[in-house]
């Protein structure tokens, strides 16, 4: 290992931000134009303007202000009328590509799709940090590392906004789980906020120049995001110089006056709190200044002027609505995201010329699982499932068998037979319905139903696809109901059964008792959308009582199945697995058990571990592919399969890309933007992921030690480390050199000049072309404050032909060395020795160099 030492003579470097290229031409003229409009508005009009109308900023025809349309984001344009749109690989997959240019192309594609549909604000990208695999919305976000998340987010935003469409960076801030999302209070220390949770937003503002941000539902350190002046004003506006729109998440405003005074510009979806009724008297008696309202209107109008919305139609009819170039970008994003995690004996790629028959099996084989559930869902024009992708690639000469392999949980719930009494009752379950959430008083109705298998309400059921019907929303929000289901399950034999429950979403809860014992408790905290537990039962009848309540939009779903897992896997799947040349298992989640409004389990859903184990025992060439927005428990099956491919949610072309990777037409190049733990208990947040009992406080006790920072600090080895990903070729990284940057220039993220350049050779030592992701980590030797062993501070995705070597340079700015000095309110690095390392995962460091630097101080305010 070559060691390089650079000694600079100056003892302290004070680093100033360099101004980024001006993004708003003739700012003075624009300000005058905006002020002229504001001066024509009555106070009432200004107040109306800062309350949305569904998915839009209202039109004011008298002032020639058009309606400013919005659409979710972030994985494609999810038009509110369910109009289809290109569906790209999900955010976590985009982060797995480590490809800034691709992030720009995806942003650009979505920007064009938005312009073709007349959308002004896209509600994305989402960039909340992956603290734990349990968060139901991890699939939308960019993983556990703030640097990687900031790079992907800001490039996506740059790509999108050059089309005259504003992105909306969300959800600001510390919204890292889906349970109790309106009520939980994220208690996070200042260092963790500055170093882990804020940087992706900071990059979105300083580098991406995002037009809008969205405040989250939760509290942060005791104050709701929408009325948290520290984050909305001090950090965002004063420290970072944000000049765009701060909008609320949908129904995330709780106090009109507090929100008005603490930095919220636009209440969405309506002005339920920031309205005339609340604000006119508050302005009259001085609790809110009229100038504060003017400022909000100014932020919206300045953004409208900046993006040209007052000067042209937003729908650009020179663009295709069905955009073939964008479908190609969607395919590219899926291709690059696929992450190969195990490939023993080079079982992959499969050789399509040698394979005569294949079994594609599992719940995610067909139909395509393009994206997780909730507002991040997109409706593609068409989508390719893994089954279709594989069959198309193999062509007619190969026999492609398909089996679901397992019943769906809903089918198993329907088949779980109950009787109303232990002996001599009727078939079925007694359902009592109460018109309150606590099962109080006498039930409003009592009936006997076939099984505990209630579908309930989701987005589609509620609005029939029309997301702008907020009358329906208001009605549904009033719902308040609880139910008790009582029945007897007659266990055919004494064995360990499994109880599975697919529960409701936010503002709901459920629990299950078997023979009087609580076996599933999701009453106060809805821990996972799908819940499983082992259930040892004696032969004979057992009393099962399931209770649930619903208070908001999404209640009603409750499916309960009791199964003997050894009898779950279909006989046909087992028979075929023993016969075919290769078995491709498509395991994972889908839009119903991973998504917004509920967390998910770490273990794979219903029966899948068992399915993998049984099929792998029947065929040595069993390949496991997993569709999931993050890590899953692999301990139950990884040792019994030779290959594991993590394919995230691949969007409309996910099946094509997966097939290409499995059969070697594309060399997998994704690298994990997360660490995957062996056991969920290993996760650094495990002991404090849920609120401190009896309080809403979610204490981020792990501080800055999130993800690999935490694994390294705790000396716990994950199953798969951050940054890891295999390829069908091999790479070598060597000849590291660190030197003072000779051409100071503004670098990514913070508008800071480069201080050092790290350069190294990357060689493709294998026999086929491929892309490596070289990752640059920096760590302080003998740091006087608690610091991670190393932190990602740069990376380069390098495409190399077989045998090719390329010299790669990565710039490091001051923030590569600094930590946040809470007392001094600035970024600080001690003078002394730092280790710069390069590898292709956080655990596979190929080269290290030692660097001695002078002390550095970087102001917070830029
Ligand atoms: C989600 C946001 C989304 C909004 C509008 C909310 O429930 O949290 O991410 O943009 O709805 O659909």
Cα 823 → chain centroid:
32
Residues 6+ apart with CB under 8 A from 539: 491, 492, 493, 494
Q: Is pLDDT above 50 for 513?
A: yes
Positive or negative torsion for Cα 703, 707, 709, 711: positive
How far from 297 is each of 36, 229, 230, CA to CA, in Å?
12, 18, 21
Report the residue count for the chain: 862
* Minimal-distance CA residue to ligand 1 atom 7: 250
C-alpha of residue 150 to centroid of ligand 1, in Å: 21
Minimal CA–CA distance to 706: which of 746, 664, 674, 749? Answer: 674
C-alpha of residue 267 to centroid of ligand 1, in Å: 13
Once rounded to an integer, what is the mean pLDDT over residues 837-853?
A: 97
Q: Report the distance separating Cα 378 and Cα 367, nearest Å.
A: 15
Q: Which is the closest atom of ligand 1 to the Cα of 73? A: 10
pLDDT tens per residue across span 332-375: 999 999 999 999 999 999 999 999 999 999 999 999 999 999 99
* Minimal-distance CA residue to ligand 1 atom 6: 250
C-alpha of residue 225 to centroid of ligand 1, in Å: 14
C-alpha of residue 365 to centroid of ligand 1, in Å: 29
Q: Report the distance separating Cα 453 and Cα 485, nearest Å.
A: 10
Q: In testing the pocket of ligand 1, which one of 377, 596, 597 has its CB within 8 Å of the most ligand atoms?
A: 596
Q: Report the distance separating Cα 765 and Cα 683, nearest Å.
A: 35
Structure tokens at 404: 């679901």
**182, HSE (Cβ side, Cα atoms, 13 Å):** 12
Q: Is pLDDT above 50 for 815?
A: yes
- What is the pLDDT at residue 20? 43
Q: Which is the closest atom of ligand 1 to the Cα of 217? A: 8
Once rounded to an integer, what is the mean pLDDT over residues 737-762?
A: 84
C-beta of 726 in contact with ligand 1 (< 6 A):
no
Residue 663 φ/ψ, nearest 5 degrees? -100, 10
CB 80 within 8 A of CB 54: yes
C-alpha of residue 374 to centroid of ligand 1, in Å: 8
C-beta of 123 in contact with ligand 1 (< 6 A):
yes
Active site residue 469: no
Task: Report which DSSP code applies to 22.
Answer: P
- What is the pLDDT at residue 859? 85
* Minimal-distance CA residue to ligand 1 atom 11: 250
Q: Report the distance separating Cα 705 and Cα 132, nearest Å.
A: 12
Burial class (CB within 10 angstroms; exposed 0-12, middle 13-18, buried 19+) of 420 = middle
C-alpha of residue 320 to centroid of ligand 1, in Å: 27
Residue 89 φ/ψ, nearest 5 degrees? -65, 145
Residue 431's DSSP bridge partners are 447, 485
CB 497 within 8 A of CB 535: yes
C-alpha of residue 355 to centroid of ligand 1, in Å: 45
Minimal CA–CA distance to 103: which of 89, 115, 113, 119? Answer: 89
C-alpha of residue 644 to centroid of ligand 1, in Å: 33
Minimal CA–CA distance to 109: which of 311, 465, 378, 302? Answer: 378
C-alpha of residue 506 to centroid of ligand 1, in Å: 13
**Which residue in the list 72, 215, 249, 609 is annotated as catalytic?**
249
How far from 613 is each of 616, 619, 626, 713, CA to CA, in Å?
5, 10, 14, 33
Residue 214's DSSP bridge partners are 247
H helix intervals, 319-469: 324-337, 386-394, 409-415, 459-463
Q: In testing the pocket of ligand 1, which one of 72, 125, 172, 468 has its CB within 8 Å of the most ligand atoms?
A: 72
**672, HSE (Cβ side, Cα atoms, 13 Å):** 31
Once rounded to an integer, what is the mean pLDDT over residues 467-490?
A: 78
pLDDT band at 2 (very low <50, low <70, confident <90, very high): very low
Minimal CA–CA distance to 139: which of 502, 570, 608, 674? Answer: 674
Structure tokens at 502: 């697919």
Q: In testing the pocket of ligand 1, which one of 171, 250, 372, 459 has its CB within 8 Å of the most ligand atoms?
A: 250
- What is the pLDDT at residue 24? 46
pLDDT tens per residue across span 189-239: 999 999 999 999 999 999 999 999 999 999 999 999 999 999 999 999 999
Q: Report the distance separating Cα 512 and Cα 518, nearest Å.
A: 6
Q: Which is the closest atom of ligand 1 to the Cα of 78? A: 12
- What is the pLDDT at residue 458? 63
Minimal CA–CA distance to 322: which of 366, 281, 380, 378? Answer: 380
Q: Which is the closest atom of ligand 1 to the Cα of 55? A: 5
Q: Which is the closest atom of ligand 1 to the Cα of 597? A: 7
Q: Describe the crossing of helices 146-161 and 199-206 by its angle, rounded to 10 degrees.
A: 30
C-alpha of residue 591 to centroid of ligand 1, in Å: 15
Cα 787 → chain centroid:
26
Work out the percent of the chain whose per-residue pLDDT is above 70.
94
Minimal CA–CA distance to 204: which of 692, 750, 639? Answer: 750
C-beta of 137 in contact with ligand 1 (< 6 A):
no
How far from 407 is each of 368, 403, 556, 595, 634, CA to CA, in Å?
17, 10, 22, 21, 21
* Minimal-distance CA residue to ligand 1 atom 4: 250
* Minimal-distance CA residue to ligand 1 atom 12: 375
The helix (run of H) or strand (run of E) holding residue 293 is helix 290-306
- What is the pLDDT at residue 19? 43
C-alpha of residue 647 to centroid of ligand 1, in Å: 25
Q: Which is the closest atom of ligand 1 to the Cα of 269? A: 5
Q: Report the distance separating Cα 530 and Cα 598, nearest Å.
A: 9
C-alpha of residue 269 to centroid of ligand 1, in Å: 10
C-beta of 250 in contact with ligand 1 (< 6 A):
yes
DSSP, collapsed to helix, strand or coil, labels residue 260 as helix
C-beta of 72 in contact with ligand 1 (< 6 A):
yes
**43, HSE (Cβ side, Cα atoms, 13 Å):** 14
Q: Which is the closest atom of ligand 1 to the Cα of 168? A: 10
* Minimal-distance CA residue to ligand 1 atom 9: 375
pLDDT tens per residue across span 254-270: 999 999 999 999 999 99
Sheet with 643-646, edge to edge strand ranges: 339-343, 643-646, 622-627, 582-588, 357-361, 399-403
Q: What share of the chain is helix, strand, coil (3-state, %, to 5)?
A: 25, 30, 45
Q: Which is the closest atom of ligand 1 to the Cα of 72? A: 10
C-beta of 249 in contact with ligand 1 (< 6 A):
yes
* Minimal-distance CA residue to ligand 1 atom 3: 375
pLDDT tens per residue across span 537-579: 999 999 999 999 998 777 789 999 999 999 999 999 999 999 9
* Minimal-distance CA residue to ligand 1 atom 8: 249
Once rounded to an integer, what is the mean pLDDT over residues 666-679?
A: 98
Helix-then-strand count for the chain, H and E = 20, 38
Q: Cis before residue 590, ω within 30 degrees of 0? A: no
Q: What is the DSSP string of 527-563?
A: --SEEEEEEEE-SEEEEEEEEEEE-SSS---EEEEEE
Minimal CA–CA distance to 648: which of 634, 671, 620, 629? Answer: 629
pLDDT band at 741 (very low <50, low <70, confident <90, very high): confident
The helix (run of H) or strand (run of E) holding residue 40 is helix 27-40
Once rounded to an integer, what is the mean pLDDT over residues 706-729?
A: 98
Q: Describe the crossing of helices 290-306 and 276-284 by its angle, rounded to 10 degrees.
A: 130
Q: Is pLDDT above 70 for 474?
A: no
Structure tokens at 750: 């913070």
pLDDT tens per residue across span 577-588: 999 999 999 999
Q: Which is the closest atom of ligand 1 to the Cα of 171? A: 9
- What is the pLDDT at residue 724? 98
C-beta of 375 in contact with ligand 1 (< 6 A):
yes
Residues 6+ apart with CB under 8 A from 284: none
C-beta of 170 in contact with ligand 1 (< 6 A):
yes
Once rounded to an integer, what is the mean pLDDT over residues 672-681?
A: 98
Structure tokens at 589: 């989640």
Q: Which is the closest atom of ligand 1 to the Cα of 124? A: 10
Q: Report the distance separating Cα 83 and Cα 96, nearest Å.
A: 28
* Minimal-distance CA residue to ligand 1 atom 5: 250
Q: How many beta carbons lie within 10 A of that of residue 767, not counting itself?
A: 11
Burial class (CB within 10 angstroms; exposed 0-12, middle 13-18, buried 19+) of 111 = buried
Residue 73's DSSP bridge partners are none
């Amino acid at each position: 290992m070559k060691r390089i030492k650079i000694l600079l003579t100056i003892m302290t470097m004070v680093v100033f931000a360099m101004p980024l290229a001006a993004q708003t031409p003739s700012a003075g003229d624009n300000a005058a134009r905006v002020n002229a409009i504001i001066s024509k508005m009555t106070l009432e009009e200004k107040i109306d303007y800062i309350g949305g109308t569904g998915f839009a900023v209202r039109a004011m025809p008298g002032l020639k202000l058009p309606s400013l349309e919005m659409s979710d984001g972030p994985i494609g344009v999810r038009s509110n009328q369910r109009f289809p749109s290109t569906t790209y690989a999900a955010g976590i997959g985009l982060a797995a590509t480590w490809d800034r240019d691709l992030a720009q192309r995806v942003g650009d594609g979505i920007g064009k799709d938005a312009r073709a549909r007349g959308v002004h604000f896209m509600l994305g990208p989402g960039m909340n940090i992956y603290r734990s695999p349990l968060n139901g919305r991890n699939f939308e976000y960019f993983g556990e590392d703030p640097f990687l998340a900031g790079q992907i987010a800001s490039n996506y935003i740059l790509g999108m906004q050059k089309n005259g469409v504003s992105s909306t960076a969300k959800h600001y801030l510390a919204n890292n789980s889906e349970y109790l999302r309106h009520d939980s209070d994220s208690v996070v220390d200042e260092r963790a906020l500055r170093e882990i949770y804020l940087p992706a937003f900071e990059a979105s503002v300083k580098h991406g120049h995002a037009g809008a941000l969205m405040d989250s539902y939760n509290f942060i350190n005791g104050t709701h995001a929408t009325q948290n002046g520290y984050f909305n004003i001090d950090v965002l506006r004063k420290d970072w110089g944000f000049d765009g729109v701060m909008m609320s998440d949908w129904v995330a405003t709780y106090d009109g006056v507090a929100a008005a005074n603490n930095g919220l510009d636009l209440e969405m979806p309506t002005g339920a709190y920031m309205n005339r009724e609340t604000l006119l008297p508050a302005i009259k008696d001085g609790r809110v200044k009229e100038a504060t309202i003017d400022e909000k209107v100014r932020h919206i109008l300045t953004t409208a002027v900046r993006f040209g919305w007052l000067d042209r139609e937003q729908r650009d009819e020179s663009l295709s609505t069905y955009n073939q170039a964008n479908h190609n970008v969607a395919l590219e994003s899926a291709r690059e995201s696929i992450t190969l995690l195990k490939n023993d004996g080079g079982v992959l790629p499969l050789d399509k010329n040698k394979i005569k028959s294949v079994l594609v099996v599992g719940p995610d084989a067909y139909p395509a699982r393009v994206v997780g559930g909730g507002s991040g869902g997109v409706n593609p024009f068409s989508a390719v499932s893994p089954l279709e992708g594989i069959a198309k690639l193999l062509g007619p000469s190969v026999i492609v068998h398909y089996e679901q392999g397992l019943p769906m949980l809903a089918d198993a719930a329907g088949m779980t037979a109950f009787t109303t009494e232990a002996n001599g009752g009727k078939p079925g379950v007694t359902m009592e319905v109460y018109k309150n959430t606590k099962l109080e008083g006498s039930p409003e109705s009592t009936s006997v139903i076939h099984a505990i298998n209630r579908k309930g309400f989701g987005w589609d059921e509620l609005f029939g696809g029309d997301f702008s019907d907020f009358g329906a929303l208001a009605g549904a929000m009033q719902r308040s109901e609880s139910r008790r289901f009582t029945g007897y399950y007659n266990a055919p034999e004494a064995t360990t059964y499994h109880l599975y429950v697919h529960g409701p979403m936010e503002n709901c809860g459920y629990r299950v008792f078997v023979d009087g014992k609580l076996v599933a408790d999701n009453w106060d905290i809805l821990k996972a959308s799908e819940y499983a537990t082992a259930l040892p039962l004696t032969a004979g009848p057992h009393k099962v009582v399931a209770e649930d309540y619903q208070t908001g939009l999404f209640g009603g779903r409750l499916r309960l199945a009791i199964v003997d897992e050894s009898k779950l896997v279909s006989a046909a799947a087992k028979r075929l697995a023993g016969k075919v040349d290769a078995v491709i298992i498509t395991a994972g989640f889908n839009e119903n058990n991973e998504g917004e409004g509920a967390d998910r389990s770490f273990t794979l859903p219903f029966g899948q571990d068992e399915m993998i184990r049984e099929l792998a025992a029947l065929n040595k060439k069993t390949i496991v592919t997993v569709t999931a927005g993050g890590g899953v428990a692999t301990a139950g099956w990884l040792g019994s399969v030779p290959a594991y491919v993590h394919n995230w949610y691949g969007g409309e072309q996910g099946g094509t890309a997966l097939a290409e990777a499995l059969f070697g037409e594309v060399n997998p190049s994704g690298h994990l933007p997360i660490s995957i733990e062996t056991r969920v208990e290993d996760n650094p947040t495990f002991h404090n992921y849920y609120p401190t009992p009896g309080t809403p406080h979610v204490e981020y006790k792990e501080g800055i030690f999130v993800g690999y920072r935490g694994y390294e600090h705790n000396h716990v080895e994950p199953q798969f480390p951050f940054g890891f990903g295999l390829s069908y070729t091999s790479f070598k990284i060597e000849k590291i050199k660190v030197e003072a940057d000779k051409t100071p220039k503004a670098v990514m993220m913070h508008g800071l000049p480069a201080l050092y350049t790290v350069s190294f050779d990357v060689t493709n030592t294998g026999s086929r072309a491929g892309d490596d992701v070289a990752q640059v980590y920096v760590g302080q030797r003998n740091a006087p404050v608690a610091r991670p062993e190393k932190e990602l501070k740069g990376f380069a995705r390098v495409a190399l032909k077989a045998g090719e070597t390329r010299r790669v340079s990565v710039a490091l700015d001051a923030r590569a060395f600094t930590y946040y000095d809470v007392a001094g309110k600035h970024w600080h690095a001690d003078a002394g020795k730092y280790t710069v390392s390069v590898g292709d995962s956080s655990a596979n460091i190929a080269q290290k160099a030692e660097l001695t630097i002078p002390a550095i101080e970087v102001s917070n305010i830029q």
